[in-house]
Amino acid sequence: MLNIVMFGAPGSGKGTQSDMLIETYQLFHISTGDVLRDNIKRGTELGKTAKDYIDKGQLIPDELMTGILASVVDENADKARNGVIFDGFPRTIAQAEALDKMLAERGTAISAVIGLDVPEEVLVARLLNRGKEQGRSDDNLETINDRLKVYHNSTAPLKQYYEEQGVLHMIKGTDTPADVFNRIKAELDPLV
Ligand code: AMP
């Protein structure tokens, strides 16, 4: 199994690169942001809870998020036979520890963490542009700034966590999506 964690700030290209990677390596893509947005659209209880956090640029509490992730993994065990791309999860050390435990209980582990490195001004420009094109409610300047703060405080420490595990591959996340993809592929091909 090839289990990949996409790690990077909002706007770093995790979703775009995940879409390209699932085709090449036949992986199952789990975007926790997409799972939450789908619940908001369907008006579920989870969606109602998640909306407040998302609109403020805050993280959904770890315990709730970890439970959601475990059920998505288990519901899709068939499709995830070759491996999973985790996109937008983990976002805290507690989530990373929960993911390690969850995978170990299922007899597997993280194969690689792909860290996308993108300068802050490029992130902001990309997110504002996505807000215009896709109308995502959290892609406005105020919420973007809150999300970047949350990223620096809660998510960035994962870099050291995964560096210590020896699974982190940092990638330059600028230039075209195809350029970034080729850099990622060069890191992953030796692992398959
Ligand atoms: P994303 O689509 O990954 O940018 O996520 C959009 C929003 O969903 C985030 O700003 C959070 O409010 C929420 N979210 C997504 N994934 C997580 C997670 N792993 N932990 C907590 N909140 C999350």
Q: What is the CA radius of gyration of the chain?
A: 16
Q: Provide CB contacts within 8 A for 115, sequence distance 6+.
A: 7, 8, 159, 162, 168, 169, 170, 171
CA of 90 to the centre of ligand 1 (A): 9
pLDDT of residue 12: 98
Tell me whether residue 130 is one of the annotated catalytic residues.
yes
Q: Does domain 4-185 have CATH number 3.40.50.300?
A: yes
pLDDT of residue 34: 96
CB 137 within 8 A of CB 124: no
Place of tokens 């919420």: 143
pLDDT of residue 4: 98
**In the chain, which stretches have pLDDT less than 70?**
none
Amino acid at 134: Q
CA of 137 to the centre of ligand 1 (A): 13
Tell me whether residue 14 is one of the annotated catalytic residues.
yes
Q: Which residue, by CA, sits nearest to atom 5 of ligand 1?
A: 33
Q: Is 54 in the pocket of ligand 1 (CB under 6 A)?
A: yes
pLDDT of residue 85: 98
Determine the Cα–Cα distance for residues 53 and 8; give it in Å rounded to an integer.
Answer: 19
Q: What angle do CA 80, 83, 84 make, to 5 degrees?
A: 80
Catalytic hit among 51, 56, 106, 136: 136
pLDDT of residue 176: 97
Report pTM: 0.96
Q: How do the domains of the chain map onto residue ranges?
A: 4-185
- What percentage of the chain carries pLDDT values higher than 70? 100
